[in-house]
C-alpha cells in the first residue's frame, strides 16, 4: 500500500507542477504579445533576390483525396518563383497520388515529384529524409498533404530566419473540420490552448516552443548541424525540437502564421494518432532525459524540456493512479502519506483540475471566438481518449522494448476531398 | 423498507443520470461555427494586459459571489442530505466537511460487488453493440472499467466493510470548491456583456449545482449498501468526472451569451 501511495503522491505532485506551468503560461500570454512581432527583429532585404532559397516538402502516402487541393495551394504561395521549389515525395502510394503529383509537376516547373520505391523504409520521416537529398535549399518547409496554406504563409514562416539564431519556425495549425462533430470541436479546443497559449507563452519566455513537423520551416544548416532528419522516429518533430535546443538553436513560434489541417473525426483514428504521438514522445523521453539534464540549457529551459518529455507519460500515471487510489481510499487509513499530505494538497486540487480548462478559455478569448467555450465542459471526453491512448502507448513501448521491436507508422485517415 | 429505500435510491440515481444527459446535450449543441478564420490580414499587436482598478473590482466581486455560491450549494446539500437516513450535518457556513453518515453497513458486500461486476460486463457488452462508433464509447468503457475494477477489488478483499463516509464528504466538498473556482474563472475571463448574461451565468451555475447535489444525494443514499472499493469507484466515475464538467456550466452559459464575437 505504501508503494501505491507513493506512486499516487508523485502523480499528484506532477499534476500540480503541470497545472502551475499552465497558469504561468496563461499569465505570460496575458501580459501581452510584444514578441512574435518580427518586424522588430532582423529582416530580410525587400529585394526578393536576397531572400533564401526554400524547398517545400510534401510527403504523401495514398493522399489522392486531398493532394490536388494541397498542391493548388502550394503553387499559389506568394514567394519569389526562382527561390522556391515544391517537392512532392510520393511515399509508395497505391492510389492516384503519383498521377496527381505528376500532373502538377507537368504544369508547374517549381513542382518536382520523387517516387519512393516499395523497398524503401516506410513512414513520413523516412520519406522526408529521401526528399531532402533532392534539394540544396537553405530553408526547408514541411507541410502534410492535407494542408491548405494561404498565399502569404510561406513568407511568414521564412521571415524569422533573418535572425541567425533561429533554427526552425513553427506556425499554427487550425482545424478546418471543427464543425464536423463533437470530437472535432473538442480537438479544436485542445489545439487552441496548445497553440494560442502554450506555444505562444513558451516563445515569449524563450523556453522551448515545439517544432511540429508541419507548417514549419527548418534552416538546412541547423538541421545538418544537429545530425539531420532521423528516419524511423514516430515523432521526428519532438526529436528535432530537442536536438535543436541542445544545439543552441531557437524555434520561433508564429501564432499568426496559420494553416488549416484536418483533425480526426472518429475516435478510432484519434486513438491511433495519440498512441503514435505518445509512443514517439516517450521514446524521446528515454533518449533525451539524461542529455537535457546534463546540457548547458538554462534552468527554465531544462524544466520546460523535462515537462515536454513527461507530457505523454503523465496521462498513463493519471490512469494508473486513479485505479490505485481506489484500494488506497477503500482499505487504507489517514495515517499514510496521502492522508498526511491531504490538507495541503486538497485546496490546490480544484485549481489544478481547472488549469487546462482555463487555458482553453484564454485561448478562445484571444481568438475572439468565446462561443466555442460552450463545448468546454465536455473536454473530459477527448481527454479520456488521450488518457487511454497514452497509457496504451506506454504499455506498448515497454512491451516492444522487451521484445526488441518497434511500432510501425500509422497513417491518419483523411476526410476532405480535394 | 429495504425495497422502498432502494427504489428511492434508484430514482435519485436515475434522475442524476438523466440530468447529466440533458446538461451534456446542451453543452454539445452549438450552431455557430468553430472554425477559426485564417485570413491574410497582418497580425494585430495586442495591448499588454494591465491590472486596472476596474479589473480588480471585477475579480473581487466575482470572488465574493463565488464564495456565496459555494456556501449556498454546501448548505443546500446539507439541508437536502439530512433527508437521507443517517446523514447529520453541522451548522457552520460550509457544513459539508462536518457532515457524518451514521448508518449500518450492508452485510452483503461481496454479493453487491459481484452484482456490480456483472452489471459492468453487461453494460460493456451493450455499449459495444449500441455505441461503438460514438465518441463517447471509449470514455464510457473507461468509466465502466473503473467501476468494475473497484468491484473486483471488493470481491478479492472480502467486501465486508463500507467505505469511510468522511471520504465521500471530502470529495463532495472538493467538488463544490472546484465548482466555485470554475464559476469564478469563467466570470473573470469570459466577457460579460449584459445583466441578462450575468443572470444566465448564475442560473446556469445553479443548474450545475442542482445536478451535483442530486448526484451526491444518490451516492449518499446508496453508500451504506456499497462495499468500500465499489463505492470509491462509483464516486470517481459518477460524481467526480461529471461533477467537474458541471463546474463549468457558467462558462458554457457565458459562451452562449456572447454568440459569435
Indicate the DSSP class of residue A197.
Answer: I
Indicate the DSSP class of residue A120.
Answer: S
For A235-297, list the strands marked E by DSSP: 250-261
What is the predicted pLDDT for the residue at B40? 60
Strand pairing of A54-60 and A84-91?
parallel
What is the predicted pLDDT for the residue at B261? 46
- Partners of residue A174 in chain B, C-beta under 8 Å: 35-36, 38
One DSSP character per residue, B135-148 reads: TTHHHHHHHHHHHH
Q: What is the CA radius of gyration of chain A?
A: 22
Q: Is the dihedral of CA B135, B141, B144, B145 positive or negative?
A: negative
SS3 label, residue A186: helix
Contact B190, A363 (CB under 8 A): no
What is the predicted pLDDT for the residue at A41? 57
Find, among A34, A27, A149, A42, the residue nearest to A86 by Cα.
A149
Query: Across chain A, what does the average pLDDT equal?
Result: 88
> Which residue stretches of chain A have pLDDT < 70?
31-46, 232, 334-340, 406-418
- Which among B134, B241, B261 has the least Cβ separation from residue A371? B261
CB contact under 8 A, A353 and B45: no
What is the predicted pLDDT for the residue at B193? 82
- Partners of residue A30 in chain B, C-beta under 8 Å: 49
Q: Round to whole Å and give the CA distance between A172 and A256.
A: 7
Indicate the DSSP class of residue A111.
Answer: E
Find, among A177, A186, A386, A351, the residue nearest to A270 by Cα.
A386
What is the predicted pLDDT for the residue at A43? 65
Per-residue CA distances from B121 to B117, B151, B158 (Å): 6, 11, 20
ipTM: 0.91
Query: Across chain B, what does the average pLDDT equal?
Result: 86
Q: Round to whole Å and give the CA distance between B17 and A100.
A: 52
- Chain B interface test: which of A171, A197, A354 (most B C-beta within 10 Å): A354
Q: How far is A156 from chain B (nearest CA, A)?
A: 10
B190-244 confidence digits (pLDDT tens): 988 888 999 999 999 999 999 999 999 999 888 888 899 999 999 999 988 999 9
Q: Is the dihedral of CA A213, A219, A223, A228 positive or negative?
A: positive
**Which residue of B lies nearest to A259 if distances are taken between CA atoms?**
B38
What is the predicted pLDDT for the residue at B224? 85
**Which residue of B lies nearest to A28 if distances are taken between CA atoms?**
B49
What is the predicted pLDDT for the residue at B123? 94
Contact A323, B213 (CB under 8 A): no
Q: Round to whole Å and give the CA distance between B59 and B187.
A: 9
CB atoms within 10 A of CB A118: 7
CB atoms within 10 A of CB B18: 12
What is the predicted pLDDT for the residue at A410? 56
What is the predicted pLDDT for the residue at B96? 82
Per-residue CA distances from B147 to A305, B129, B174 (Å): 36, 20, 21
Find, among B195, B198, B174, B176, the residue nearest to B187 by Cα.
B198
* B206 contact partners, CB below 8 Å, separation of at least 6: B69
Q: Round to whole Å and give the CA distance between B234 and B250.
A: 25
- Partners of residue A368 in chain B, C-beta under 8 Å: 261
Interface of B with A in 208-247 (CB under 8 A): 227-229, 231-233, 236, 241, 244-247
Bridge partners, A195 (sequence order): none
Find, among A322, A323, A395, A337, the residue nearest to B153 by Cα.
A323
A7-59 confidence digits (pLDDT tens): 999 999 999 999 999 999 999 887 655 444 444 456 666 677 778 999 999 99
Contact A219, A158 (CB under 8 A): no
Continuous segment of H or E residues that includes residue A27: helix A2-30
- Partners of residue B180 in chain A, C-beta under 8 Å: 350
CB contact under 8 A, B261 and A369: yes
Between A and B, how many CB-CB pairs are < 8 A? 205
B123-155 confidence digits (pLDDT tens): 999 999 999 999 999 999 999 999 999 999 999
Q: Round to whole Å and give the CA distance between A207 and B132.
A: 41
CB contact under 8 A, A376 and B232: no
- Partners of residue B33 in chain A, C-beta under 8 Å: 178-179
What is the predicted pLDDT for the residue at B236? 92
- Partners of residue A370 in chain B, C-beta under 8 Å: 190-191, 254-255, 258, 261
**Which residue of B lies nearest to A265 if distances are taken between CA atoms?**
B135
Q: To 10 degrees, what angle do helices B249-258 and A349-366 make?
A: 10
Does residue B40 sit at the A interface (CB-CB below 8 Å)? yes
CB contact under 8 A, B28 and A192: no
Contact A59, A28 (CB under 8 A): no
- Partners of residue B241 in chain A, C-beta under 8 Å: 380
Q: How far is A346 from chain B (nearest CA, A)?
A: 7
Amino acid at each position: 500500500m505504501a508503494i501505491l501511495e507513493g506512486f499516487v503522491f508523485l502523480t499528484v505532485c506532477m499534476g500540480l507542477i503541470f497545472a502551475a506551468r499552465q497558469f504561468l503560461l496563461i499569465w505570460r500570454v496575458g501580459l501581452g504579445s510584444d514578441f512574435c512581432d518580427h518586424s522588430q527583429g532582423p529582416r530580410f532585404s525587400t529585394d526578393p533576390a536576397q531572400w533564401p532559397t526554400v524547398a517545400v516538402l510534401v510527403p504523401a502516402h495514398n493522399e489522392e483525396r486531398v493532394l490536388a487541393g494541397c498542391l493548388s495551394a502550394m503553387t499559389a504561395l506568394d514567394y519569389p518563383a526562382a527561390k522556391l521549389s515544391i517537392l512532392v515525395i510520393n511515399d509508395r502510394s497505391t492510389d492516384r497520388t503519383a498521377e496527381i503529383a505528376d500532373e502538377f509537376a507537368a504544369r508547374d516547373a517549381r513542382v518536382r515529384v520523387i517516387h519512393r520505391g516499395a523497398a524503401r523504409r516506410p513512414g513520413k520521416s523516412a520519406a522526408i529524409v529521401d526528399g531532402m537529398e533532392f534539394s540544396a535549399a537553405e530553408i526547408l518547409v514541411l507541410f502534410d498533404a492535407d494542408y491548405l496554406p494561404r498565399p502569404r504563409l510561406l513568407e511568414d514562416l521564412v521571415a524569422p530566419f533573418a535572425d541567425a539564431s533561429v533554427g526552425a519556425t513553427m506556425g499554427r495549425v487550425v482545424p478546418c473540420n471543427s464543425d464536423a462533430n463533437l470530437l472535432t470541436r473538442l480537438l479544436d479546443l485542445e489545439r487552441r490552448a496548445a497553440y494560442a497559449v502554450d506555444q505562444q507563452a513558451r516563445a515569449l519566455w524563450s523556453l522551448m516552443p515545439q517544432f511540429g513537423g508541419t507548417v514549419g520551416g527548418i534552416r538546412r544548416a541547423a538541421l545538418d548541424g544537429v545530425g539531420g532528419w532521423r528516419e524511423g522516429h514516430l515523432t521526428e518533430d519532438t526529436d528535432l525540437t530537442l536536438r535543436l535546443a541542445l544545439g543552441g538553436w531557437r524555434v520561433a513560434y508564429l501564432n499568426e502564421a496559420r494553416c488549416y489541417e484536418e483533425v480526426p473525426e472518429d475516435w478510432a483514428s484519434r486513438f491511433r494518432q495519440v498512441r503514435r504521438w505518445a509512443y514517439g514522445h516517450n521514446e524521446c523521453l528515454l533518449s533525451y532525459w539524461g542529455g537535457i539534464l546534463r546540457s548547458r540549457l538554462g534552468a527554465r529551459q531544462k524544466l520546460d524540456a523535462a515537462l515536454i518529455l513527461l507530457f505523454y507519460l503523465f496521462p498513463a500515471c493519471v490512469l494508473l493512479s486513479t485505479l490505485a487510489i481506489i484500494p488506497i481510499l477503500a482499505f487504507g487509513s489517514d495515517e499514510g502519506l496521502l492522508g498526511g499530505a491531504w490538507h495541503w494538497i486538497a485546496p490546490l486540487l480544484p485549481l489544478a483540475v481547472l488549469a487546462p480548462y482555463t487555458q482553453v478559455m484564454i485561448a478562445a478569448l484571444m481568438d475572439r471566438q468565446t462561443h466555442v467555450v460552450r463545448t468546454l465542459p465536455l473536454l473530459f471526453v477527448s481527454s479520456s481518449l488521450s488518457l487511454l491512448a497514452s497509457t496504451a502507448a506506454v504499455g506498448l513501448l515497454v512491451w516492444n522494448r522487451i521484445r526488441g521491436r518497434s511500432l510501425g507508422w500509422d497513417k491518419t485517415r483523411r476526410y476532405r476531398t480535394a | 423498507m429495504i425495497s422502498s429505500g432502494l427504489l428511492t435510491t434508484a430514482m435519485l440515481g436515475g434522475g442524476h443520470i438523466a440530468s447529466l444527459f440533458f446538461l451534456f446535450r446542451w453543452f454539445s449543441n452549438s450552431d455557430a461555427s468553430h472554425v477559426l478564420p485564417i485570413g491574410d490580414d497582418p497580425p494585430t499587436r495586442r495591448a499588454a494586459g494591465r491590472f486596472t482598478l476596474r479589473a480588480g473590482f471585477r475579480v473581487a466581486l466575482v470572488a465574493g459571489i463565488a464564495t456565496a455560491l459555494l456556501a449556498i450549494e454546501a448548505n443546500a446539500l446539507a439541508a437536502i442530505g439530512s433527508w437521507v437516513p443517517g446523514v447529520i450535518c453541522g451548522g457552520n457556513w460550509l457544513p459539508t466537511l462536518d457532515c457524518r453518515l451514521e448508518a449500518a453497513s450492508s452485510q452483503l458486500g461481496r454479493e453487491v460487488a459481484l452484482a456490480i461486476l456483472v452489471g459492468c460486463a453487461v453494460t460493456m457488452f451493450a455499449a459495444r453493440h449500441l455505441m461503438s462508433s460514438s465518441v463517447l464509447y471509449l470514455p464510457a468503457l473507461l468509466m465502466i472499467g473503473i467501476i468494475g475494477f473497484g468491484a473486483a477489488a471488493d470481491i478479492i478483499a472480502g467486501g465486508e466493510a463500507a467505505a469511510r463516509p468522511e471520504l465521500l464528504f471530502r470529495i463532495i466538498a472538493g467538488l463544490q470548491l472546484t465548482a466555485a473556482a470554475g464559476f469564478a474563472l469563467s466570470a473573470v475571463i469570459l466577457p460579460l456583456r449584459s445583466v441578462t448574461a450575468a443572470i444566465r451565468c448564475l442560473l446556469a451555475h445553479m443548474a450545475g449545482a442542482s445536478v451535483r447535489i442530486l448526484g451526491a444525494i444518490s451516492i449518499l443514499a446508496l453508500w451504506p449498501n456499497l462495499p468500500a472499493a465499489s463505492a470509491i469507484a462509483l464516486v470517481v466515475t459518477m460524481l467526480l468526472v461529471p461533477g467537474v464538467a458541471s463546474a463549468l456550466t457558467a462558462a458554457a452559459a457565458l459562451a452562449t451569451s456572447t454568440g459569435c464575437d
